[in-house]
Copies of this chain bind each other. A is one copy, B any other.
Amino acid sequence: MSGNTFGKLFTVTTAGESHGPALVAIVDGCPPGVPLSAEDLQSDLDRRKPGTSRHTTQRKEPDEVEILSGVFEGKTTGCPIGLLIRNTDQKSKDYSAIKDIFRPAHADYSYHHKYGARDYRGGGRSSARETAMRVAAGAIAKKYLASQGIVIRGYMSQLGPIEIPFKCWDAVSKNAFFSPDPDKVPELEAYMDQLRRDQDSVGAKITVVAEGVMPGLGEPVFDRIDADLAHALMSINAVKGVEIGAGFASVVQRGTEHRDELTPEGFLSNHAGGVLGGISSGQPIVAHLALKPTSSITTPGRSINIAGEPVEMITKGRHDPCVGIRATPIAEAMMAIVIMDQFLRHRAQNADVQVTAPVLPQL
Contacts and interface: CB of A to CB of B under 8 A. Distances in A.
A57 to B, nearest CB: 14
A117 interface: yes
Q: How many copies does the complex hold?
A: 4
Nearest to A345: B348
A160 B11 CA distance: 40
A30, A104, A219, A257: most-surrounded residue (chain B CB, <10 A)? A104
A255 B279 CA distance: 37
Interface in A278-306: 278-282, 290-295, 297, 299, 301-304, 306
A25 B277 CA distance: 20
A194 B81 CA distance: 41
A309 interface: yes
A201 B255 contact: yes
B254 A247 contact: no
A268 B3 CA distance: 30
Residue from A30, A116, A124 with most neighbouring chain B CB atoms (10 Å): A116
A169 interface: no
A197 interface: no
Given A17-B77, A22-B68, A107-B276, 8 more contacts: A4-B28, A9-B348, A15-B70, A20-B70, A31-B349, A78-B114, A114-B279, A202-B252
A32 B112 CA distance: 11
A221 B259 contact: no
In this complex, the member of A8, A68, A359 whose beta carbon has the largest number of chain B beta carbons within 10 angstroms is A68
A130 B69 CA distance: 11
B256 A245 contact: no
Contacts of A275: 110
Nearest to A334: B222
A178 to B, nearest CB: 15
Contacts of A349: 9, 29-32, 78, 344
Contacts of A214: 113
A297 B254 CA distance: 10
6 contacts: A9-B345, A72-B117, A113-B359, A231-B231, A241-B241, A263-B310
Interface stretch (A47-55, A182-190, A350-358): A350-358
A107 to B, nearest CB: 2
A346 B32 CA distance: 12
A109 interface: yes
A290 B72 contact: no
A41 B74 CA distance: 33
A16 interface: yes
Most buried by B among A216, A292, A358: A292
A177 interface: no
Nearest to A105: B259
Which of the listed residues A25, A278, A351 has the most CB atoms from chain B within 10 Å of its own CB? A278
Nearest to A100: B357
B82 A22 contact: yes
A11 B4 CA distance: 10
A24 B26 CA distance: 8
A247 B252 contact: no
A221 B250 contact: no
Interface in A297-330: 297, 299, 301-304, 306-310
A36 interface: no
B2 A29 contact: yes
A252 B2 CA distance: 34
